[in-house]
Amino acid sequence: MVDAVNINVTKTASSKLKDLDFSNLPFGKHFTDHMLVATYADGEWQNVEIKPYQPLQLEPSLVAIHYGQSIFEGIKAYRYENGDAFIFRPHDNFKRFNTSAERMCMPAVPEEIFIGGMKQLIELDKEWIPTAADHSLYIRPFMFSTDTIIGVKPSDTYLFIIILSPTGPYYSAPMRIVVEETYTRAAPGGVGFAKNAGNYAASLLAMQLAKKQGYDQVLWTDAFEHKWLQEVGTMNVMFIINNTAVTPSLEEGTILAGVTRDTALTVLKEMGLTIEERKISIDELIDAYNDGSLKEVFGTGTAATISLIQELKYKDTILKFDLSKLTVAPELKRRLDNIRTGVSADTHGWMERV
């Protein structure tokens, strides 16, 4: 049950809310007054507490820093006009978090801490949720290993923490993308499907090199042939080919199963598109571009929702998309925003009341 865990609450003596400029909220920069912290030791979760947001004191030998047993989630909450707060599909993130935990040999976090604790924390810091258009509360649950012995093995102790960040519109300019042919994000048998910290560290160099060439991000391809398309940067990718939305399928374990990906597929189907989750190669994409059937390419993820792609570069081939002709991505974004902000009816039960 969601209320079965005893959460010790210590409220802040001096709220920082009055210092927050609601008209200037860059992504991930400001944090609310409180955080949730739970400790795993002796085979169980204990000491679940909500306390003032504060620095952590950690030993230099902390094993997570050395060997990277560290996972996270990203979720958004909204405050409606009547003052109620809603979280977008938190149970999907909860399940994915524990899938990541299992892959990284970490203990599962129980629902009453992940969801129950998250709700209690948000309720306490509710006034921090911005209400203006395109604003939200970004929720960052994470877990890392805390043994202080430098030896390679799964840790016996962990910290699970949730912090909250009020965020303004995540403007992402239409992206120019290079198809990656040297580096690899994920391979079968690897950790591509897990939201672990190391995946991000491993992706930085490819992104940096793309930026040096004047591009924004890379389109990841498979490890063996650098031909089968995977994800764009840290987002899932969708291709609109005539009236079909094609996105790479999940069964190889090389794709992060995005909640926005799943949401987008559901809504695209409602918009009348055919959905295909399957392997798709760069050659097929270029053929579809050349015969005029490839209409749009975009990324999906919690932070930006939908990120338009205006250019794709593969070897000497450049695919360009006329942004003024896009129809599917803008309509999809409009529908997703309307559901999340309560403008449209929540017919799928995606919004969960705090």
Ligand X SMILES: *Cc1c(COP(=O)(O)O)cnc(C)c1O
**Footprint of ligand X on this chain (CB under 6 A)?**
74, 195, 231, 234-236, 256, 258-261, 300-302
CB 14, min distance to ligand X, A: 33
CB of 305 to ligand X, least distance (A): 9
Q: How far is the CB of 238 from ligand X (least distance, A)?
A: 12
The residue among 146 and 254 lying less far from ligand X, judged by its C-beta, is 254
Nearest distance from C-beta of residue 8 to ligand X, angstroms? 30
| CB closer to ligand X, 71 vs 178 | 71
Least distance to ligand X, CB of residue 264, Å: 8
Shortest spacing between CB 214 and ligand X, in angstroms: 23
Contact status, residue 233 vs residue 107, Cβ threshold 8 Å: no
Nearer to ligand X, 178 or 235 (CB): 235
Kindly state the smallest distance separating residue 262's Cβ from ligand X, in Å.
Answer: 8
C-beta of 34 vs 195, nearer to ligand X: 195
Helix (H), strand (E), coil (C) string for the chain: CCCCCCCEECCCCCCCHHHCCCCCCCCCCCCCCEEEEEEEECCEEEEEEEEECCCCCCCCCCHHHHHCCEEECCEEEEECCCCCEEEECHHHHHHHHHHHHHHCCCCCCCHHHHHHHHHHHHHHCHHHCCCCCCCEEEEEEEEEECCCCCCCCCCCCEEEEEEEEEECCCCCCCEEEEECCCCCCCCCCCCCCCCEHHHHHHHHHHHHHHHHCCCCEEEEECCCCCCEEEEECCEEEEEEECCEEEECCCCCCCCCCCHHHHHHHHHHHHCCCEEEECCCEHHHHHHHHHCCCEEEEEEEECCCEEEEEEEEEECCEEEECCHHHCCHHHHHHHHHHHHHCCCCCCCCCCEEEC
Q: At its nearest, how many Å lie between ligand X and the CB of residue 185?
A: 7
Cβ nearer to ligand X, comparing 195 with 333: 195
Nearest CB to ligand X, comparing residues 151 and 188: 188
Kindly tell me which of 63 and 259 has the beta carbon lying closer to ligand X.
259
Tokens of 307: 């990120």
Complex with ligand X: residue 158 or 193, whichever CB lies closer? 193
